[in-house]
Amino acid sequence: MLLYDAISPAPRCLRMFVLEKGLQPPSVAVDVMAGENREAAYLALNPAGQTPALRLDDGRTLAEAVAIAEYLEELHPEPALIGRTPEERAQTRQWWRRVELNVTEFIHNAFHYAEGLPRFAPRIPVAPEAAAGLKRIAQDRLAWLDRMMGDGPYLCGERFTAADIWLYVWLDFGAGVNQPFDRTLPWIGPWFERVAARPAAAASRKLLASP
């Protein structure tokens, strides 16, 4: 298999997942800043033109970071980042969906419509007038998430999971694109520092193919 990696939040989520797994898949870098993911060669692999993507040994390609993570978990179940039992997997997916639908998608689109507007306006429909509202919703939903958390160190209690990876990477990204989160949130604040201290968090800043 071959992983198509890039400097972007979704590929970084998958990189951190792979690093936490202790995997070393062969990978190549896609220069999304130069638009390489919109060129014919890449679109032949992934017609959606998005990163990451995973080319399988039989020549087929999987896209979407979440789907690739699920696939890799099935191939390499330990350490479990989704779950060992149906109950654990369901709990991880519950928080993963809450993170994506309520927080990270709003961060993502707000960036497209504001700080990332010059890059994305020629490529996708954009709504600059929506950016401020999307940023506000992301912060509101993050506080909502914070209020639901118990005493465990991670979203799934004692288990560190893919849900933690996705939330951490997007909050770290947001902090660099004029979407800082409230570090005084009583659960999210300490949680963020806890995840940031994991070796894979820092290592995931670099492409897997980097020396």
pLDDT per position as a tens digit, 99-158? 999 999 999 999 999 999 999 999 899 999 999 999 999 999 999 999 999 889 999 999
* 93's tokens: 């997916």
Tokens 């190549």 belong to residue: 28
pLDDT of residue 35: 92
Residue 65 CB contacts under 8 Å (≥ 6 apart), including other chains: 10, 11, 13, 14, 17, 52
Determine the CATH number of domain 86-198. Answer: 1.20.1050.10
Q: Report pTM.
A: 0.96
pLDDT per position as a tens digit, 19-60? 999 999 999 999 999 999 999 999 999 999 999 999 999 999
pLDDT per position as a tens digit, 145-182? 999 998 899 999 999 999 999 999 999 999 999 999 99
Task: Indicate where the chain has its CATH 3.40.30.10 domain(s).
Answer: 2-80
pLDDT of residue 209: 76
Q: What percent of the chain has pLDDT over 90?
A: 97
* 114's tokens: 């504001």
Residue 2, SS3? strand
* 88's tokens: 């654990």
Task: Indicate where the chain has its CATH 1.20.1050.10 domain(s).
Answer: 86-198
* 108's tokens: 């993502």
pLDDT of residue 186: 97
Q: Which helix (H) or strand (E) holds 193?
A: helix 188-196
Q: In what order do the strands lie in the sheet with 2-5?
A: 27-29, 2-5, 53-55, 61-63
CATH level 3 topology of 2-80? Glutaredoxin (3.40.30)
Residue 136 CB contacts under 8 Å (≥ 6 apart), including other chains: none
Average pLDDT, the chain: 96
* Beta pairing class for 27-29 and 2-5: parallel
Closest Cα partner for 192 from 205, 166, 207, 208? 166
pLDDT of residue 183: 96
What does the DSSP assignment read for 40-105?
Answer: HHHHHH-TT--S-EEE-TTS-EEESHHHHHHHHHHH--SS-SS-SSHHHHHHHHHHHHHHIIIIIH
Residue 128 CB contacts under 8 Å (≥ 6 apart), including other chains: 113, 114, 117
Band (211; pLDDT cuts 50, 70, 90): low
Q: What percent of the chain has pLDDT over 70?
A: 99
